[in-house]
Amino acid sequence: MERKKKTILAVAALAVVWSLYIILHHNPLAVPIQEKVKKCISIFILWSAFGIFAKFYDWIVLLPQELFANRKLIWKLAKNDFRSKYAGSYMGIVWVFLQPAVTVLVYWFVFTMGGRTPVSDTQGYPFVVWLIVGIVPWFFFSDAWGQGTSALLSYQFLVKKVVFKISILPIIKILSAFFIHVFLVAVTLVILLLNGIYPNPYWIQIPYFSL
């Protein structure tokens, strides 16, 4: 309990310092009224974030500790979930990677050849590049969100029969979806290179947009 108070006070002190910096900082190129509005919004967001941190401290701090303590179990269950996801399908695990590829091909065909006004380039880039860099993160988000929210139902046999940390169940599904996502990101990078789009400093943002 004492540690919790100290941590919250330390974060509060940091928020105060940050707030003072926002208030005292002046941008000579900014419109005064707009600068004031932005400062008010920034301070509101900052202290709202602090309020959420203080309110849900136990969940925010303890959850990462639980995940780290159970990392081996999470990894094992995630691999098992990945293998069993399409175990009953005709093509097995191949379908995990084939399904997104087929979806991309269908979209590409419809928008480049199937419509009355085919799309060739988008903002100077080939349509397939524009399509795949947007749809690949969506595949991950859709799969992780859908599977993660139903994790308790999927693993109800563990929840009912074993003393089990249910907080780790959603991350198992998310990690399982991430395996596919890594492969699709690699394919995306290859497609970018084949289209003459080479690495540049902006590629550092890939982990951010991938997650």
What is the three-state SS of 12-66? HHHHHHHHHHHHHCCCCCCCHHHHHHHHHHHHHHHHHHHHHHHHCHHHHHHHHHH
The region of weakest confidence among 114-118, 169-173, 205-209 is 114-118
Domain residue ranges of the chain, discontinuous segments joined by +? 2-55, 66-210
* CB-CB contact of 139 with 181 (8 Å): yes
Angle between helices 71-84 and 169-194 (to 10 degrees): 60
First to last CA, the chain: 33
The number of C-alpha atoms within 13 Å of 54 and in the hemisphere containing its C-beta is: 15
Per residue in 134-187, pLDDT tens? Answer: 888 888 888 888 888 888 777 777 767 666 677 788 888 888 888 888 888 888
